[in-house]
Amino acid sequence: MHPTPDLSRRRTLQGMATLAAGGLVPGLHAQAARWPDKPLRVVVPFPPGGLTDAYARLFADHFSQTLGQPSVVDNRPGGGAIIGISQVAKAPADGYTLLVSTSGTVWQNRVLYSKLPYNLDTDLTPVAVFPSGPLAVAVAPDVPARTMREFIAWAQAPRQTNMASYAPGSYPHMVADQLNRHAGTKIQPVQYKGESPMWIDVAGNSAQIGIGSYQAFATVQGRGVRAIGVTGNYRSPKLPDVPTLAEQGIDTPLVKLEGGLALMAPAGTPEAVLLALNKVALACVETERGSKLRENFGIPNKPKNLAATRKDWDTEVPVWIKLAVELGIKLD
């Protein structure tokens, strides 16, 4: 398969960054040599709370502890994550402005929106991806279903059925659309600015089902919200008795995929800086705090080195894009 023009341009920018790290572009090399010499800003396009915010704060704090510069997590929710992503895409490629966002909002927005103020391939480059682990699929207290099959049968009846989604075009949004297409349901995705408000409405029966991280789901588990399945191809360590959707016969590519939280920098950031940022990402999950975070959220997997991240990125992005195209979701 030949690379697209956008992918070729991104690789060209990465090549320029590599030259900078090697001293062949003097201005960029001098900039990289001084890095970091000022505070780091990590933009999260969701409100505080939830897995994305937790990983961003873990990374930012470890950056400060190990590299000696202050850091701040800047929550910029709204606009289907476009507001926050745009701020990083338009920032200088100097390694001081980063993005942590759900992979779905990063990858699929190019399909979900006709016009974006940024180009994923030419404006941003991956640094690392924090795995999100299996996501909990849980129903509201008033929903009688105990399995996903029971929920589908219940939702096929003529009643209002809302699925809480933590962002337009996110994983829950795509699942709702796929169920409607293949199971004959009429589930209405309801968009929230992050996981915390989403699960509150599931607990209050305003939404009948939600999909999100274990830790965020656990905050309302004591209020009658009940897990009926998990996404991915393995059970959650936190919900070992809850079968995956695939185990329950929901055998589609979408429910088997494991997403993640993408750590990204503006394209053209010097290679030496990208490598250093990737090392911070790998190290932060190995700390006591990082291990506790992964335990709390039920995430056994860890981010990979920069080369492996790029390889996975080039392999997985087309898969998610294809799913978004096939589902036919448009948000504008």
Asked if 188 and 155 count as a contact pair (C-beta separation under 8 A), the reply is no
Choose the weakest-confidence range: 42-51, 86-95, 245-254, 319-328. 319-328
What are the residue boundaries of the structural domains of the chain, listed by start?
5-132+259-327, 136-256
pLDDT at 243: 97
What class, spelled out in words, does domain 5-132+259-327 have in CATH? alpha beta
pLDDT at position 5 over 80: no
Q: Mean pLDDT, to the nearest integer, of 301-328?
A: 89
The reply to whether the predicted model has a pTM over 0.75 is yes
Which pLDDT belongs to residue 20? Answer: 45
Same fold, 5-132+259-327 and 136-256: yes
So what's the architecture of 136-256 in CATH? 3-Layer(aba) Sandwich (3.40)
Residue 105 CA to residue 109 CA, distance in Å, equals 6
pLDDT of residue 173: 84
pLDDT in tens, 208-243: 999 998 988 999 999 999 999 999 989 999 999 999
